[in-house]
Amino acid sequence: MNPKLLALQKQLREDGVLISFSGKFSQEIIEELGEALKKYLETEDQPKTDIFNIFSIFIEQTQNIKNYCASGNFIDAYEQIANSCIVIIGNTANNGKYICSGNIIVNSDLEKLQSTISAVTSLNKEELKKLYKQKLKQELPPDSTSAGIGLIDIARKASQPLQYSIVDIDEQFSFFTLKAIV
């Protein structure tokens, strides 16, 4: 028996946590959690647009993490990075929802990540819409698997500016966290 379970449950309730998963993300896990999230939101009588936005942000964040882990840029550290994944969905103080995800990233990826996030978070809703449409019209580079619109789409669907943090772990790795509020 784990005597800390009750304390953990209390802390999760205080933090408004509805759903939390920590571990390797597979397509099946993402789909199951997504389905559970959607059903939960429907029982709360959330507006359909909010359900769609929360669900879409959840899927995009978890897919981004899964794809990063599968990118193969860190074969020697795959298990460490793949097992570092976490996603939390919870209530905000004003009856909204937050979707927060995190994972270990290789420090050599930090500059590009920070540049991309800074560019996206500096835009207003109209500028995000324009950038989103531009990206959709661009041809994909031959070695790319996405149009690079995921983060833009998350920012478009969020009701507040995206929040992120990067915490150094050591000289090779950092922990990246992204939070969106609807």
Q: Could you read off the pLDDT of 81-117 as tens digits, one per residue?
A: 778 899 999 999 988 999 999 999 989 999 999 999 9
Across the range 160-173, mean pLDDT stands at: 95
109, part of any domain: yes
Burial of residue 94 (CB within 10 Å: 0-12, 13-18, 19+) is exposed
Report how many domains make up the chain: 1
120, part of any domain: yes
User: What is the pTM for the complete model shown?
Assistant: 0.88
114, part of any domain: yes
CATH of the domain at 148: 3.30.565
